[in-house]
Homo-oligomer: A and B are copies of this chain.
Amino acid sequence: MPKIKVAILGATGAVGQRFVQLLENHPWFEVSALTGSDRTVGQKYGAGVRWVLSGPVPEYAREMIVLPTEPGFDAQIAFSALPTDIAKEAEPKLAAAGYGVCSNASSHRMWPDVPLLIPEVNPDHTALIAHQRQARGWPGFIVTNPNCTSTGVTIALRALHNAFTLTRGFMVSMQATSGAGYPGVASLDILDNVVPYIGGEEEKFETEPRKMLGKLAADQIEFAPFVLAAHTNRVPVTDGHLVCASLEFAQKPSPEEAARVLADFRAPEIVQNLPSAPKQVIEVRSEPDRPQPRRDRDAGKGMATVVGRLRPDPLFHLRLVILSHNTIRGAAGGALLNGELLVAQGMVK
């Protein structure tokens, strides 16, 4: 079977580089186009990129010529690592031109007819695409994946919400600097330091899980009715976002019941068979001091969610710690899995 042609939009940035890395030797997809900013358009990718990941630039991408981010390239899916302001303009144009845009940008996550999608969490939300196309007259579409901090947390909440119905939650994140892109966080701001603020992050973190755990109702999503309160912090860690959570439910679970529900959580079969899906969606650790970013971020090749420290909460019902790799599961890997789901669902042919 011939591979499906895909483009990477904003391929020279930090998240764009992850796409380039994750799409090397992909069983279904073949990268046919890389787009970049004015600075790099027309250059060979290997020359124009300031590669910040480990190892060398993948062979396949080095000689590709960086294209402008506009319709014209030959691809069915466009994975978007564009900055928010550019995504805002470019992604609707591309959808209108017939591309299936799988975007990591925040620009359209809250549009009522745009799925905010995690395959293990809400694969049925792709039904919004039909409404989106009809309403906007697009041959293509836009699908988004959530903010890097929301991702792992929403996966864990999916399992718990199914079983016990979440009502309220406190969330405090300790986020890696790669979440801010490159150059992103200045070393003078973070060495021997913590910055207890990330612009715009708390709002996303309090809202996005409610959309993803909401119900598909006709042509939109009814947000889940729980309430979250978030504190977000930047810590001197390269990759891996850690979240401390205190949760209240309609049915109070014991820590043991919660652990079982998390460990037993399975994605629908269509998702389990996607090439980038982790074998075990949620890994539950029983050591008292795990998960930890450096030691657990690569679980399931960076696609698993790792949960630990399940214990009772003096005020709510359950305390726990949740870890997710922010540039793999929380960004490029998440968008890639969305693309795979759309192929499996027949949305991309």
A: which residues have CB within 8 A of B? 14, 52-55, 168, 170, 172, 174, 177-178, 182-197, 199, 206, 227-229, 231, 233, 235-238, 242, 244, 246, 288-296, 298-299, 308-309, 313-316, 319, 321
Contacts and interface: CB of A to CB of B under 8 A. Distances in A.
B289 A193 contact: no
B194 A187 contact: no
A293 B231 CA distance: 16
A290 B315 CA distance: 28
Given A168-B315, A185-B187, A229-B246, A192 B237 contact: yes
B244 A231 contact: yes
11 contacts: A52-B295, A172-B172, A177-B187, A183-B189, A187-B187, A191-B192, A192-B294, A193-B295, A196-B292, A227-B314, A236-B237
Nearest to A322: B196
B194 A315 contact: no
Given A54-B298, A195-B289, 15 more contacts: A174-B233, A177-B191, A183-B188, A184-B187, A186-B187, A187-B187, A187-B189, A187-B236, A193-B294, A194-B235, A194-B292, A206-B314, A227-B315, A229-B246, A231-B319
B229 A193 contact: no
B196 A242 contact: yes
A264 B288 CA distance: 41
Given A186-B186, A187-B187, A244-B231, A193 B292 contact: yes
A184 B184 contact: no
Contacts of A229: 246, 313-316, 319
Contacts of A170: 170, 246, 315
Contact of A174 (B174, B183, B288): B174
B321 A196 contact: yes
A313 to B, nearest CB: 5
B242 A194 contact: yes
A187 to B, nearest CB: 4
A197 B314 contact: no
A289 B197 contact: yes
A194 to B, nearest CB: 5
Contacts of A296: 54-55
B298 A55 contact: yes
A54 B293 CA distance: 9
B194 A237 contact: yes
A192 B315 contact: no
Contacts of A244: 172, 196, 231, 233
A174 B236 CA distance: 12
Contact of A237 (B55, B191, B299): B191
A191 B290 CA distance: 15
Contacts of A206: 314
Contact of A192 (B192, B299, B319): B192
A238 B294 contact: yes
